[in-house]
Amino acid sequence: MSASESTTPLVSQGTGSGIPPGSRVVIVGLGLIGGSLAAALREAGVGGSDGSVIVASDPDGEEIRRGQDMGLIDAGSTSLAGVIDAATLVVLAVPVMAMRSVMVELKALLHRADARVVITDVGSTKAAVRDTAVEVFGEMPSRLVLGHPIAGSEKSGVRASMASLYHNHKVILTPCENTAPEAQGLVEGLWRAAGAEVLIMDVERHDQVLARTSHLPHLLAFSLVDTLARQDERLDIFRYAAGGFRDFTRIAGSDPVMWRDVFQANQGAVLEALDDFEAGLSRLRQAVTQGDGDAMLGIFDRASHARHYFDSLLNQTSYQAEYQMQETAKLRYRVAPGGGVTGRIRVPGDKSISHRSIMLGALSEGVTEVSGFLEGEDSLATLQAFREMGVTIEGPHQGRVVIHGVGMHGLKKPAGPLYVGNAGTAMRLFSGLLAGQAFDTELTGDASLTRRPMGRVADPLRQMGAVIDTAEGGRPPLKIKGGQALKGIRYDMPMASAQVKSCLLLAGLFAEGETRVREPAPTRDHTERMLTGFGYSVGRDGDTCWLRGGGSLTAGPIDVPSDISSATFFLVAAAITPGSDLVLEHVGVNPTRIGVINILQAMGADLRLQNSREVGGEPVADLHIRYAPLKGIDIPVDQVPLAIDEFPALFIAAANAEGITRLRGADELRVKESDRLQAMADGMTTLGIDNTLYDDGIDIVGRGEGDGGVGPSGSPSYSPSYSPSYSPSYSPSYSPSYGGGRIDSREDHRIAMAFTIAGLRASAPIEVDDCANVATSFPTFLDLARRVGLSLEEERQEGA
């Protein structure tokens, strides 16, 4: 197997969490690695009242004395023979090249150890240690469990030992076929006691992975620094060394003897990695030689985003939370009750249009310049996926993205699965686009997306001739077989879904003949408008749209308007808060998206469109909203698809209206990023808002004007743990509509934002759990919310 193939190492979940009482742990070699292990075991209580002891051998008597003075070991000796008696666990903490002589000595002494003695090592390459063991012992001992802690420090010697060296670091164990399970269990327990995470891999895989992640980078650093240090102007080079070169000199400052050993021990895997690197280097050399800026940008763009992308993929998190916080974290919002809503703001770019701008730009001939691009995780996932397929994309920088289109047939096979995080739109639109490619692909997403139905796109695509595998129940991942000849179909959509319609139109671009889609109710038409903008002819007659495959797209500029779905949170915030007066600038008001405007106006909101204009084929306006009392309504069924993403916020408007608001025909809400009907019903119940849930809708009993609301004490069961500085900001005349409480947002961005704005009319604080995904669609939500007058904080959720 090549090291670039994706195989997931097993994270060991074993129960062993330490060293059994009465054990005798023998550490052979008391440097930084062995000393830190002893320190960590001490901290975990080994060698105390449980009758266990930690002993060590090291040829350097000074190190042993220091280890004893530091309290790391109970006893020590300069010879292995001096400590081996009755050993339970022997840890060979010596360099790989010293392993042979230690094993020879150990073999001769093993009769003096406990018969059940378990041996492990810490060598940084594993095949060499295994081969040495086989040579010395005649076969691989079943109680020798090979291991490699991925931790270290620039310092060395026992003096530098740290109990925390292994905390939250990975230790890779590479058991062999005959390794005894209880021996492996003991070694897992050892490392877990030291605070490490234990992973299991096979020996060859370990060496390949380490060759690429550690050995090759060191080799390059040694070589680069040595090469530059030999040149005539070397003094200047080192005098002005900054940034990049400094980092190389830091890596090249590592222990030369140790690294010589590593390259001797892991020769084969290192040479393989070096071959790959040389091939990459010659591609880059060629780009530089030819002055091929596109090729250079392609390589640099992919490289500069690789870490964020792969970290997100590994943690199955969305994209930017990882990037901003450098680790997976859960976020909670704490919203103080009350606050105002005034000012002029511009919310970020439209998510639907941002996704499509990248997709169509990538498939077109020429360069597409996008402004107003949403730098949220969902659209960034789409952008990164195209980079993975060889498209050069500059940015985003403050909403500006430049896409160097590769034409209809220019995408390249990605090296692995395409990860789209939380983005349902990306997965569904991609499935159509990828079904028409010459290569195979796999689409994966985060936990929420992995629960969402994909049969709605896979089934009609199969009718077009696509070959697509889904997981059970039509869920992701989607495995799409390339090289299929697609045929246009006529498809009557069973549900009103712009994603399904867009998916089929994108597949239709690659299909023979005409692809026609009929929708049961109007859904957003950005795909049709944008295709037309890219010079592709799309027909429309009533409820049906169509196109013929085989054409091409021509690049052009795209100005993405602000997202009406993000604006909605502030529209509702203003609509429910007495005294509010807010302008939302440059909002997209495409007729297929303005359900929220129609519904709020029907409820009595004082909401006006100003400065209406058309920008790049999409209608845009400034939205001016002032407080006016709302009343409950029966939401017209024809407005449901036009406001499909806006219902979480609209439910909060309903909770503040006078009388009952009834919604039906909205069963699609059950299969969004969460079951939004259930999530909102549960959250509203927590706040004391009466509601009745139906399969396809909900009734919400408003507590707005006329009902007197609930008093500031209206949340009897909830006593939040707030600091005094976080007291309610409402005045005595403030009239809350419901109480406060802790809300489970179900990691759904729109649920999180809806309950945040609910705080404007709550009698007590609202805490909203799991808000990190707000960054999928609205990364600047908190800043803007504070700017208009909400009082809220974000904090890391404990236990995350």
Residues carrying an active site annotation: 645
**Six-digit token pair at 549?**
């495959």
**Six-digit token pair at 658?**
């006078």
Can you tell me which residue has the tokens 């380490």?
A: 210
Residues near 191 by Cβ (< 8 Å), separated by ≥ 6? 147, 149, 166, 171, 173, 198
> 723 in helix, strand or coil?
coil
Smallest distance, ligand S3P to C-beta of residue 324, A: 23
Smallest distance, ligand S3P to C-beta of residue 595, A: 11
Q: What proportions of the chain, in percent to the nearest 5, are helix, strand and coil?
A: 40, 20, 40
Q: Which is nearer to ligand S3P, 266 or 502 (CB)?
A: 502
Q: Which is nearer to ligand S3P, 524 or 761 (CB)?
A: 524
Q: Which is nearer to ligand S3P, 516 or 524 (CB)?
A: 524
Rounded distance between C-alpha atoms, residue 502 and residue 506, angstroms: 6
Radius of gyration of the chain (CA): 31
Residues in the chain: 800
**What are phi and psi for residue 690, nearest 5 degrees?**
-70, 135
Q: Which is nearer to ligand S3P, 215 or 524 (CB)?
A: 524
Are the C-beta atoms of residues 647 and 752 closer than 8 Å to each other?
no
Look up residue 472 and give its amino acid. Answer: E
Smallest distance, ligand S3P to C-beta of residue 493, A: 10
Rounded distance between C-alpha atoms, residue 527 and residue 373, angstroms: 16
Q: Which is nearer to ligand S3P, 320 or 425 (CB)?
A: 425
CA distances, 588 to each of 403, 531, 619 (Å):
22, 18, 6
Q: Which is nearer to ligand S3P, 172 or 498 (CB)?
A: 498
Q: Which is nearer to ligand S3P, 425 or 577 (CB)?
A: 425
Smallest distance, ligand S3P to C-beta of residue 165, A: 46
Q: At what angle do helices 32-43 and 181-193 cross, to 10 degrees?
A: 80
- Nearest in space to 28 (alpha carbons), one of 65, 60, 69: 60
Smallest distance, ligand S3P to C-beta of residue 349, A: 13
Q: What sections of 113-159 are H helices per DSSP?
A: 127-137
Q: Which is nearer to ligand S3P, 524 or 746 (CB)?
A: 524
Smallest distance, ligand S3P to C-beta of residue 503, A: 9
List of residues contacting ligand S3P (CB under 6 A): 352, 425, 497-499, 502, 523-524, 644-645, 668
Sign, Cα dihedral of 312, 317, 322, 327? negative
Can you tell me which residue has the tokens 């010459």?
A: 438
Smallest distance, ligand S3P to C-beta of residue 550, A: 24
**Six-digit token pair at 437?**
């490619």
3-class SS string, 548-572:
ECCCCCECCCEECCECHHHHHHHHH
Rounded distance between C-alpha atoms, residue 317 and residue 328, angstroms: 7
**Six-digit token pair at 42?**
């001490």
- Which of the 8 DSSP states describes residue 417? P
Q: Which is nearer to ligand S3P, 491 or 718 (CB)?
A: 491
Smallest distance, ligand S3P to C-beta of residue 645, A: 5
Rounded distance between C-alpha atoms, residue 422 and residue 426, angstroms: 9
Smallest distance, ligand S3P to C-beta of residue 168, A: 36
